[in-house]
Amino acid sequence: MVIKYAKIIGRRPSALNMKVGNLGRLDPKLKEKGIVGLSHGSKVEQMVWDEFYDNPEQLIYESECLIAKYSNDTIEHTSNIDLTNLPEGTERVAMIKQRVNQTFFRSTVLSSYDSTCCISGIRNEQLVEACHISDWKSDLKNRTNPHNGICLNPFFHRAYDKYYISITPDYYIEISERLLDDIKSDNSRKYLQSIDRRHIIIPEKFSPDKDLLQLHYNKYKELL
């Protein structure tokens, strides 16, 4: 990935990699893990970090615009999104930004989980989806946060969104009796019971945020 984008902007991969390291030194989440990044950087990096740290949606959109610009291409092509039948004017820009951010979230979450459902273990990009832990409509801050994403197949995605299942902050699956009562097949019920309290598959990057998992788990418990 570094090689790809270094070529687009006309820089050496080593130079781009160093710039990423310089920005990494400003990330508090990396510092919590003992990862401090490179020790030296510029004031510009601090300015960029301060401007976009609390506004990831704008960061993603402006980044995709720059990639399209330096690629001499359109944003719909470089972002792999369909912009047909969109309105004109400011509403079009808003919808483009939304689709760019959705595409980024999906691709990042699926990539971090290697297109594998973290509950069932199904590994197929056509059969899994990027699920928001904290609701997409209400949690504007975490809409594009990959730590707010888990990879699930459509069944578990819908069950998670409707609080029929949840994942504890220590990454264990919980299956509600509400769901089990609705299952008419003995084999399906036994399968769901067998994964209850089983540990999910944890990705190497962008592991689920424990605070966001706790919020979902609290709502889940209220409905038991």
Tens of pLDDT, residues 201-221: 999 889 999 999 999 999 999
Question: Greater confidence, 113 or 26?
Answer: 113
For tokens 């067998």, name the residue.
Answer: 194
- Model confidence band, residue 21 (pLDDT cutoffs 50, 70, 90): confident
Q: How far apart are CA 119 and CA 151, in angstroms?
A: 8
- Model confidence band, residue 57 (pLDDT cutoffs 50, 70, 90): confident
Q: How far apart are CA 154 and CA 170, in angstroms?
A: 23
Please report, to the nearest 10 degrees, the dihedral formed by the alpha carbons of residues 151, 155, 157, 160 taken in order.
Answer: -130
Query: What value does the mean pLDDT of the chain take?
Result: 89
pLDDT above 70 for 39 = no
Each residue of 98-121: b (16+ CB within 10 Å) or e? Answer: ebbbbbbbbebbbbbbebbbbbbe
Mean pLDDT of 5-29: 83
For the chain, first and last CA: distance in Å?
A: 44
pLDDT above 80 for 133 = yes
What is the reported pTM? Answer: 0.80
Percent above pLDDT 70 for the chain: 96
- Model confidence band, residue 137 (pLDDT cutoffs 50, 70, 90): confident
Q: How far apart are CA 131 and CA 148, in angstroms?
A: 8
